[in-house]
Amino acid sequence: MGYANHLNSTFAALADPTRRAILSRLASGEASVNELAEPFAMSQPAISKHLRVLERAGLISRGRDAQRRPRQLQAAPLKEVADWVEHYRQFWTESFDRLDHYLRQLQAKDKAKDKDKAKDKDKAKEKKHAGKRPAK
Amino acid sequence: MPASVLQSDIFTKPTEREIVITRVFDAPRALVFKMWTDPKHLREWFGPGVFTNPVCEVDARVGGKWHIVMRDPQGNDYPCGGVYREVVEPERLVFTNIATDKDGNPIIDGLTTVIFEDEAGKTKLTLQTRGTAVVDYAAEYLKGMDAGWSQSLESLAGKLAKA
């Protein structure tokens, strides 16, 4: 499965609150379908349907016990999602560091320009006065 | 399983594809807004620290396009761009952000909202972005960016070591 499809199926699987609750439960240890169905007001077939979605997304797997068939959490796809979100966050955080720096430079330059302008004005005034003086 | 994965918001938040970043800039709102809409300024800061932006075209009107080509220190190009959906100067920008490969095929598809708020002469910026990876080599693309970042960290470490 391609990376993007893979990510999309992970996102789709995580979009449902019941499925997130199931994963949350599995994070504290493997559990059978019956055990998973217990806290939810849901039939076993309904839970099984959610489990199939999670399984297809690679988020859970089945344990070895042939009778209980316990489900286990698989971390890799979750990590991929977390990494991907982190990439975006990092991109903007770094960009904003640059923007912050750039804004400081820009404003410092503007201030320097204003000062120069003020100086030029002063000089112009002085010239005016200087020009007037000999006429005195 | 690493604890960081378990503790992430993935289990609880339905909007895990969304990122919200807030930052206060010590500059007036009109100026900060201009940093986004004037290509002369945008090219100076967009992207990770070691990247340059040899191409930066911006038409900040509703329906107008933006197009930036980021270049890493090895000379690899990372084009991206999109279309402006909302432009409310100096308060709000909404645009699509689509990272493309060299042939213009989309790799990552997203929507970004930027809100500019005046805070006693400073500007509080809130960026909300959400995205979906659309093709296989998004992984490669992101890997490349990762290399860029670790390089910038290395160069920083190098500078610090010399100091």
Report percent pLDDT > 70 for chain B.
64
Report percent pLDDT > 90 for chain B.
44
Contact B133 A4 (CB under 8 A): yes
Mean pLDDT is highest, among A8-22, B4-18, B126-140, B143-157, for A8-22
Burial zone of B98 (CB within 10 Å; 0-12 exposed, 13-18 middle, 19+ buried) = buried
Strands B52-58 and B18-25: unpaired
Q: What does the pLDDT look like over B27-37, one tens digit per residue?
A: 999 999 999 99
Domain ranges of chain A: 3-74, 78-135
- Residue ranges and CATH numbers for the domains of chain B are 16-162 (3.30.530.20)
How many C-beta atoms surround the C-beta of residue B117 within 10 A? 14
Contacts of B138 in chain A (CB under 8 A): 3-4, 7
Tokens of A101: 């720096």
Picking from A82, A91, A98, the nearest residue to B45 by CB comes out as: A98
Please tell me whether residue A7 adopts helix, strand or coil conformation. Answer: helix
| Cis before B14 (ω within 30) | no
ipTM of the complex: 0.71
Contact A102 B41 (CB under 8 A): yes
Q: Compute the residue count for chain A.
A: 136
Distance in Å, alpha carbon of B13 to nearest chain A alpha carbon: 9
- pLDDT tens by residue, chain A, 136 residues: 344 556 667 767 776 778 878 887 887 788 998 888 888 888 888 999 999 999 988 889 988 877 888 998 887 777 666 666 677 788 889 999 999 999 999 999 888 888 777 777 777 766 666 655 554 4
The C-alpha atoms of residue B120 and residue B137 are separated, in whole angstroms, by 45
Picking from B11, B21, B46, the nearest residue to A20 by CB comes out as: B11
Tokens of A114: 């204003």
Is some CB atom of chain B closer than 8 A to the CB atom of A100? yes
Contact B23 A100 (CB under 8 A): yes
Mean predicted confidence (pLDDT) in B141-153:
53
For the domain made up of A3-74, give the CATH fold: Arc Repressor Mutant, subunit A (1.10.10)
φ, ψ dihedrals at A35, nearest 5°:
-65, -35
